[in-house]
Structure 1
Amino acid sequence: MTATETVPAPATADGPASAVLPLEVTDLTTTFVGRDRRIPVVRGVSFSLQRGETLMLLGESGSGKSVTARSIMQLYGLSAELGGSVRMNGQELLGLPEPKLQNIRGGQIALVPQDPTGALDPLRRIGSQLTEVLGVHGIERVRKSARRRAEELLAMVGIPDPKRVADSYPHELSGGMRQRAVIAIAVACDPQVLIADEPTTALDVTVQAQILELIAELQQRLGTAVLMVTHDVGVAGDFGGRIGVMYAGRLVEEGPAAQVLSAPRHPYTAGLLDSLPAPGVERGALRSIVGAPPGVGAFPPGCAFAPRCPQARPSCSEDDPPLLAVADGRSAACPVANPTPDGKAAA
Structure 2
Amino acid sequence: MTSTSTPESATGEQPPLAIDSLSTSFVGRDGAATEIVRGVSFTVGRGQTLMLLGESGSGKSVTARSILRLYDKSAQITGSVRFNGVELLDTTEETMRGYRGSELALVPQDPTGALDPLRRIGAQLREVILIHRQEGTKRAADRLALELLDQVGISDPQRVFHSFPHELSGGMRQRAVIAIAISCRPQVLIADEPTTALDVTVQAQILDLIADLRRDTGMAVLMVTHDVGVAADYGDQVAVMYAGRIVESGIAHEVLTHPTEKYTAGLLAAQPRPGIRRGELPTMAGWTCGPDGFPTESVA
Provide the TM-score with structure 1 as the length reference: 0.81
**Cα deviations across residues 260-313 of structure 1 (Å, max 9, x unaligned)?**
11111110000011111223333322111125x79xxx975486163x514xxx
What amino acid maps onto 1:73 in structure 2? L
Report the Cα distance in structure 1 between the residues aligned to 2:278 and 2:173, rounded to whole angstroms. 36
- Name the SS of the counterpart of 1:254 in structure 2: strand
- Name the SS of the counterpart of 2:282 in structure 1: coil
8 Å contact kept, 1:54–1:242: yes
Report the Cα distance in structure 1 between the residues aligned to 2:12 and 2:215, rounded to whole angstroms. 17
The percentage of aligned residue pairs carrying the same residue is 61
Counterpart mapping for 1:120-139 below 5 A: 120-139=115-134
8 Å contact kept, 2:290–2:296: no
The question of 1:77 aligning with 2:72 is answered: yes
In the alignment, which of 237, 248, 253 is matched to residue 258 of structure 1?
Answer: 253
Report the Cα distance in structure 2 between the residues aligned to 1:175 and 1:282, rounded to whole angstroms. 31
Structure 2 unmatched ranges of 5 or more: 1-5
Report the Cα distance in structure 2 between the residues aligned to 1:242 and 1:76, rounded to whole angstroms. 27
**Cα deviations across residues 81-102 of structure 1 (Å, max 9, x unaligned)?**
1100111111110031111111
- Name the SS of the counterpart of 1:244 in structure 2: strand
Counterpart mapping for 1:1-347 below 5 A: 19-36=13-30, 37-291=32-286, 301=292, 304=295, 306=297, 309-310=299-300
Number of corresponding residues = 293
Report the Cα distance in structure 1 between the residues aligned to 2:11 and 2:120, rounded to whole angstroms. 39
Larger radius of gyration: 1
What amino acid maps onto 1:34 in structure 2? G
CA shift, 1:246, in A, is 0.2
Report the Cα distance in structure 2 between the residues aligned to 1:205 and 1:266, rounded to whole angstroms. 30
Report the Cα distance in structure 2 between the residues aligned to 1:35 and 1:303, rounded to whole angstroms. 23
8 Å contact kept, 2:133–2:184: no
Structural RMSD (CA): 2.0
8 Å contact kept, 1:58–1:236: yes
Provide the TM-score with structure 2 as the length reference: 0.93
Describe the shift of the 1:221–1:301 C-alpha distance in structure 2 as closer, same or farther (beyond 3 A).
Answer: same
What amino acid maps onto 1:216 in structure 2? A
Q: Which has the higher contact order (CA 8 A, sep 6+)?
A: 2
